[in-house]
Amino acid sequence: MPDSAIDIAAYVARTGYTGPLTPTRETFVGLHRAQAYSIPFENFDIHLGRPIGLDAPSLSRKLLTKRRGGYCYELNGLFGRVLRQLGFTVTNLVGRNLIAGEPLRPRAHQLLLVEVDGQPWVADLGFGGNTLLEPIPLEIGPEHRMGFDSYRLQAAPQHNYHVQLLMDGQWQSLYTFTLDEAQPSDYQMMSYFYSNSPDSPFRQQRICARATPEYRATLVDRELKVRRPDGRSTISVLADDGAYATALDQYFGIRLPEPVSRLFS
């Protein structure tokens, strides 16, 4: 198998996907949902002093074999490679995080544009606790219900699109993007900054997030938030390393070989 290829059988086993693998809308939506529910967003390797590799062997080893998660360049990088191998047309895009507020972060969030039967779709598995569960058509206005959240696309100046999430009855822009194509080298540069610069939010916080049909869980440093379909949310502080390790396993499916204390050293 060439270095640029992902083992599709290993990917299917990791995500639990059971549908067809032909380049159809059914496959596309099903794969997106399966990965969203199985491979968490997390940035722990940055705090463990490990480099982030975006090549196919690195992605396969970390996300599939070691059953870890990653951030947008890893999660969407893996998904884009899988889709291309299955015959989909995929364009790399870049967005700017808006929900983080001022000052605005660089235009550095990876997302994907995927064409299915002549229809362009936005795919994104890497926006932390607010990431899409399913792709959405590149259409302005319609509301898309996913699990217990709703999303939509809105137009913005300079040929921008906003991905918005309905939060507390108000539409909140998560990030903005254009249709200008990005290159793998763009992501390598962005990932290097976010994994190495002291100004990077990923150097300042340990973040983990995962969605399932039963909950959405987000762990920022030692604060765990679990949101349920009925609207209930619980927030707890995992001050004990044992409780932290248990939560990682229970809510995110992650078992670190290193002691939890290394994340905070």
Phi/psi region, residue 134 (left: phi>0; alpha: psi -120 to 50; beta: rest), is beta
Tokens matching residue 212: 């399932």
Please identify every residue annotated as catalytic. Answer: 72, 109, 124
Output the CA torsion 119→179→72→28 (10° steps): 10
- The domain spanning residue 111 has which CATH number? 3.30.2140.20
CA nearest to 12, candidates 60, 44, 54, 57: 60
Q: Please answer whether residues 6 and 81 qualify as being in contact, where contact means their C-beta atoms are separated by less than 8 angstroms.
A: yes
> What is the rounded average pLDDT of the residues 11-17?
98
* Residue span of the structural domain in which 230 resides: 8-264
- Is residue 245 one of the residues assigned to a domain? yes
Q: Is residue 63 part of a domain?
A: yes
pTM equals 0.96
Q: Is residue 3 part of a domain?
A: no
- Whether 89 is covered by a domain: the verdict is yes
* The one-letter amino acid at 21: L
Is residue 154 in some structural domain?
yes
223 located within any domain: yes
Is residue 253 included in any domain, yes or no?
A: yes
Q: What is the pLDDT of residue 3?
A: 55
How many domains does one find in the chain? 1
pLDDT category, 2, cuts 50, 70, 90?
very low
221 assigned to some structural domain: yes
pLDDT tens digits, one per residue of 70-118 = 999 999 999 999 999 999 999 999 999 999 888 889 999 999 999 999 9
